[in-house]
Amino acid sequence: MRQNLYLLFAILAIALLGFVYFNYTFSWLSKGLHDMLEFTPSVENKPEVNTDLRFPEGIKYNQPDVSNSRSDVTTLTPWLAPIVWEGTFDLSVIDSIYLQKNITVATTVFALGKYVRFLKEFLESAEQHFMVGYRVHYYLFTDRPDEVPMVTLRPGRQLTKIKTPSSSRWQEITLRRMEMIEKLIEERLVIEADYIFSLDVDTKFYCHWGAETLSDIVAVLHPGYFGTPRTAFPYERRPKSVAFIPPEEGDYYYGGAVIGGRIGNVHKLTKACRVQLDVDRANKIEAVWQEESHLNKYFLYNKPSKVLSPEYLWQDFKQKTSNMKVIRFSQVIKNYAEVRPNP
């Protein structure tokens, strides 16, 4: 009798322990599941790419110079951001640092209306020269998905088409790029990429463009205004527009054809420009160079951490100047009246 009682106690104790354990494990499991479901990556909590400049041991490369490698051009801004020119970087050092990071570079391209015709050369030349060796994901905004040419991409590279409404005004197309990039970052790039470049499509790569261009937030010097006095920059000069810059301010004139950087930084930029564009729209004013004017305003008060020389944005019709050792990326010649939907 007494033995039976002991047995009953033992069974009860085991059952109790089992119950407690099961409950604990279950709540732990369900908490994990709950956390997983709750964790929607956003721009705020995006796990950032490691920005340490880690360098593998045992790599042989040239000793750095102690004098400036380029005496004909400025290679630093007054806030000490590098201006990237041929001869200022050692690609083998750059790649030793960045290849091991296993990064993905999102590249946004807009090709609406007749601008789809620029895609073939753009993509084919990008596959030859742009971020070769790195994972690249093109996000192509277009209203003519059926006219997108088939271009063979290197391994590890992909292209996603994003159906985009047409527009009857070219200004509207360039203006809307900011908000579309802002949304794309929020909806996809927080998960899918580490860096982003936004590039004009009426362009072609002629030479290497690689990881030397990566940084927090990257601007490009417009080839038409390198060396121009700031008073002659085509900034927005009407105070009614938020993009207004007074004549005594300004560092450089940046091109709207290239914007780059880490996802979070470019999100900040596109959001700020979109908000400014909305204010202008409400006040019924359109800046003289659309989003490029707002971009210049943004970069005046939020300085870029790296600046690309005109090697990274040339124009095919321009004669090569002596300080241009290479042309990497250039605007092709286009017949504005023929390709744009309106004058």
Residue 202 annotated as part of some ligand binding site = yes
Binding string to Mn ion for residues 183 to 202, with x set by CB under 5 A, is what? -----------------x-x
- Which residue lies nearer to ligand UD2 by CB, 170 or 197? 170
Confirm if 160 and 138 have CB atoms less than 8 A apart.
yes
Minimum CB–partner distance for residue 34 and Mn ion (Å): 48
Among 86, 182, 286, 292, the active-site one is 292
- How many C-beta atoms surround the C-beta of residue 4 within 10 A? 8
Taking CB under 5 A as the rule, does residue 292 contact Mn ion? no
Minimum CB–partner distance for residue 149 and ligand UD2 (Å): 15
With tokens 């001869």, the residue in question is 87
* Short-list 105, 86, 75, CA closest to 260: 105
Minimum CB–partner distance for residue 113 and Mn ion (Å): 13
- Which residue lies nearer to ligand UD2 by CB, 85 or 329? 329
Minimum CB–partner distance for residue 259 and ligand UD2 (Å): 9
Among 82, 87, 113, 250, binds ligand UD2 (CB under 6 A): 113
Residue 222 annotated as part of some ligand binding site = yes
Q: Is the dihedral of CA 173, 174, 180, 184 positive or negative?
A: positive
CA distance 264 to 224: 30
Residue 256 interacts, among ligand UD2, Mn ion, none and using kind-specific CB cut-offs from 5 to 8 Å, with ligand UD2
* Short-list 142, 79, 136, 83, CA closest to 110: 142
CA atoms within 13 A on the CB side of 268: 14
Total number of residues that touch ligand UD2 (CB under 6 A): 23
Residue 210 interacts, among Mn ion, ligand UD2, none and using kind-specific CB cut-offs from 5 to 8 Å, with none
Among 125, 136, 184, 255, binds ligand UD2 (CB under 6 A): 255
DSSP letters along 249-310, please? --S--B-TTEEEEEHHHHHHHHHHHHHHHHHHHHTT---TTHHHHHHHHHHHHS--SEEE-G
With tokens 């104790």, the residue in question is 13
User: Active-site residue 292, yes or no?
Assistant: yes
Residue 72 annotated as part of some ligand binding site = no
- How many C-beta atoms surround the C-beta of residue 271 within 10 A? 18
Residues of this chain that interact with Mn ion (CB under 5 A) are 200, 202
Active site residues: 292
> Which residues make up each annotated binding site for UDP-N-acetyl-alpha-D-galactosamine?
115, 200-202
